């Protein structure tokens, strides 16, 4: 079965194979430059979207934090997913973001098999 390659790799390979034909090399270099510009624009768009944040995601994170403030003690990811009726795949990034902002603290379980718990940090 043939190995898959990217379009950029394909144009680089064609340019290398046809190195003696200046027109082909120039064409391939132009296509590679276009692909690099497209990739850069896509990275910029992703960075802008990440910087803006998604209001629904932010609202969910705030709800998790607010709940944690009133919770009696640390809660696991699983316990929080049950409270909010969401899948762990949605809760984990919310907890990570809150942890990165210093709003919740992750506490490792006492045993290796025990899950980590999270507790809200109250600003003083």
pLDDT-derived band at 123, boundaries 50, 70, 90 = low
Token pair of 120 as six digits: 């809200």
Give the separation between CA 43 and CA 25, rounded to whole angstroms: 27
Q: Which tens digit of pLDDT belongs to each residue from 71-108?
A: 888 888 888 999 999 988 888 888 888 888 888 888 88
| Chain-centre distance for alpha carbon 28 | 32
1: in domain: no
Residues 116 and 73 in one domain: yes
Question: In terms of domains, do 62 and 47 share one?
Answer: no
Of 37, 52, 67, the domain-final residue: 52
More confident of the two residues 69 and 120: 69
Residue 101 has what pLDDT? 86
Same-domain check for residues 33 and 67: no
Res. 124: pLDDT tops 50? no
Order of strands, sheet of 75-76, starting from the edge strand that comes earlier in the sequence: 75-76, 117-120, 104-107
Average pLDDT over residues 26-54: 87
Whether 2 maps to a domain, the answer reads no
- In this structure, the answer to whether residues 73 and 21 fall within a common structural domain is no
Asked whether residue 86 is domain-assigned, the answer is yes
- In total, how many domains does the chain have? 2
pLDDT of amino acid 83: 92
- pLDDT of residue 48 exceeding 50, the answer is yes
Q: Write down the pLDDT at residue 112.
A: 67
Structural domain that includes position 36: 7-52
Domain assignment of residue 73, yes or no: yes
Residue 94 lies in a domain: yes
Q: Do 66 and 95 lie in a common domain? A: yes
With 0.85 as the threshold, say if the pTM is over it: no
pLDDT for the residue numbered 34? 95
Rounded distance between C-alpha atoms, residue 28 and residue 54, angstroms: 39
């Amino acid at each position: 079965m043939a190995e898959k390659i990217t379009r950029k790799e394909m144009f680089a390979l064609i340019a290398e194979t046809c190195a003696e034909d200046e027109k082909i090399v120039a064409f391939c270099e132009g296509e590679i430059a276009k692909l690099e510009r497209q990739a850069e624009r896509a990275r910029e768009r992703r960075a802008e979207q990440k910087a803006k944040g998604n209001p629904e995601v932010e609202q969910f994170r705030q709800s998790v934090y607010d709940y944690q403030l009133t919770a009696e003690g640390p809660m696991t990811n699983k316990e929080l997913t049950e409270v909010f009726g969401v899948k762990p795949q949605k809760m984990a990034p919310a907890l990570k973001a809150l942890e990165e902002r210093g709003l919740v603290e992750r506490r490792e379980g006492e045993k290796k098999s025990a899950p980590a718990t999270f507790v809200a940090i109250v600003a003083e």
